[in-house]
Amino acid sequence: MSARRALAARRIGWTAAAVTALLLAVLFSLAVGARPVAPSAVLDAVLNGGDSADAEVVRELRVPRTLIGLMVGAALALAGTALQGITRNPIADPGILGISQGASVGVVLAIAFAGVHTLAGYVWFAFAGAAIASVAVYAIAARGRGGATPVKLALGGAAINALLVSVTTGVLTTKAAALDEFRFWQVGSVSGRDAEVVDQIWPFLLVGAVLVMAVARGLDALALGEDVAKGLGQNVATVRIAGGVGATVLTGVGVAAAGPIAFIGLAVPHIARAIVGSDHRWVLPMAALIGPVMLLVSDVIGRIVFPPSEVPAGVMTALIGVPFLVGLVRRKAVPA
């Protein structure tokens, strides 16, 4: 009993620390940039409106940017956690399984053939591309003996990802006018987004989060193996479908709003599990807190490393995430 109380106290403590880190990340995101704004001026602009130049910068530019960072970070972290649980693959994330690339193809086709040139317009095409890619990966993995095993899902994702990269490259080489616009989106960034994008994606974020949280117990059971999960009364197919749909919706949210930002969906679930254990009822909420912290901090660092220019958040998350991935591979390669 004392061990359980200690674990609960540890989880509550880490949750409080994550909430504090998130609040600080939000404050830094609102205050730091080409035009530094004092924390007191940030609070005045957010709480009281204000009519100064600093207040206008905060309200018109940094508040939408920060909200996008919060939503995208949470969406990608939740999607990665759900996908790792569904596939029982520690390196599964929306990029590796081809879902992010599906969204990219949707955006490319929207720019090149549908005449869509706004971030708000990309949302629907990114959703469609992510959904088609996820269905294709599952359909490939489900064929043959054994059904959609973790290895077959990973291989199917790699195959679909390679195909979609080829499609993207083919379209861009024949539609040169779309290249510059797509390059701006492809690099992954939360800058230049406005409140309209926030209004469009938050309902999907809510739906996706509810779906993956609803299968938290099923993901715990699935981690023990399909036979054990069935013995515990879990409908494995339902867990995978609901979790997969939720992860696809969340990936569509993140990629549509900010482009294919890498490594959040891969790294954050491992960090969350390291500090609160393997219970997905704790891992998923913790991931939803850590993901925005990682993205907002990356975005803030990108604003200050080469002033007055900015390094996109997608580049910074990759710089942070690559050493993490190397460490993960080294740790997994060491015999137990």
pLDDT for 67-80, tens place per residue?
Answer: 999 999 999 999 99
Question: What is the maximum alpha-carbon separation in the chain?
Answer: 66
Q: Which amino acid makes up residue 206?
A: L
The DSSP code for 61 is I
pLDDT band at 17 (very low <50, low <70, confident <90, very high): very high
- How many Cβ atoms are within 10 Å of 325's Cβ, its own excluded? 16
pTM as predicted: 0.89
The DSSP secondary-structure symbol of 59 reads I
DSSP string, 77-116: HHHHHHHHHHHT-TT--TTTTTHHHHHHHHHHHHHHHS--
Which residue, 61, 65, 58, is CA-closest to 44? 58
For residue 60, give both structure tokens: 């018109």
Q: Which alpha helices (DSSP H) does the chain contain, by range?
A: 2-31, 39-48, 53-57, 63-87, 99-113, 119-142, 150-174, 177-186, 195-214, 216-222, 226-231, 236-258, 264-276, 280-304, 313-333
Which of the following CATH numbers is that of domain 2-333: 3.20.190.10, 1.10.3470.10, 3.40.50.720, 1.20.1440.230? Answer: 1.10.3470.10
CA distance 209 to 275: 21
Residues of the chain with pLDDT > 70: what percent?
94
> pLDDT tens for residues 221-269?
888 777 787 887 788 878 888 998 899 889 888 888 888 887 898 889 9
* Number of other residues whose CB lies within 10 A of the CB of residue 49: 9
Q: What is the pLDDT of residues 294-330, one digit of tens each?
A: 999 999 998 888 877 788 888 888 887 777 767 766 7
Q: Are 54 and 281 in contact (CB under 8 A)?
A: no
Q: How confident is the model at residue 335 (pLDDT cuts 50, 70, 90)?
A: very low
Report the alpha-carbon distance of residue 116 to residue 299 in Å, rounded. Answer: 26
Distance CA 238, CA 157 (A): 20
Burial of 259 (0-12, 13-18, 19+ CB in 10 A): buried
The mean pLDDT of the chain is: 84
Q: In this structure, what DSSP letter does residue 62 have?
A: I
Answer whether the bond into residue 335 is a cis peptide, omega within 30°.
Answer: no
